Amino acid sequence: MLIKDFYKLIDLSSDGSGIVATLKLNPEHKVYKGHFPNHPVVPGVIQLQIVKELLEQSLGKNLFMGNIQRVKYLKPVVPTNTSQLVFTIIIKETDEQKIGSNVSIGLKDSIFTKAKIEFTII
């Protein structure tokens, strides 16, 4: 985990074509003192880093986030209002060196972030 104690993994499941992970955010983490004081928001770059970490854990491979084809931040993730998030990662293409993914970050009927990212196996 790149950022210690930022989240706790509650559940991680994989069916070969995708990953679904539920995690609990730590709303008291020091990141929020800078992003933003009195109005904490989960930084977009941290959301993408979590995607990378979940894929690495599930696939047992080290990855480099090589090509972010699209990211849409639809709603801010406020850790004091949304303590749990569900990351749904669909693996779209795989070859010996690349893994394509479609990502959705949300909770129940709310989607906060959608992305299409290609990773390189290192």
What percent of the chain is predicted at pLDDT more than 90? 85
Which single residue is written with the structure tokens 């394509």?
100
pLDDT digits (tens, 9 = 90+) for 10-49: 999 998 799 999 999 999 999 999 988 889 999 999 999 9
Say which amino acid occupies 58: S
- The pTM score is 0.94
Q: How far is CA 22 from the centre of its chain?
A: 10
Mean predicted confidence (pLDDT) in 98-112:
95
Of the candidates 33, 27, 22, 43, the one whose C-alpha atom is nearest the C-alpha of residue 85 is 22
Q: Parse the chain into domains and list their residue ranges.
A: 1-85
Of the candidates 86, 80, 79, 83, the one whose C-alpha atom is nearest the C-alpha of residue 113 is 86
CA distances (Å), 15 to each of 20, 45, 59, in order? 9, 26, 11
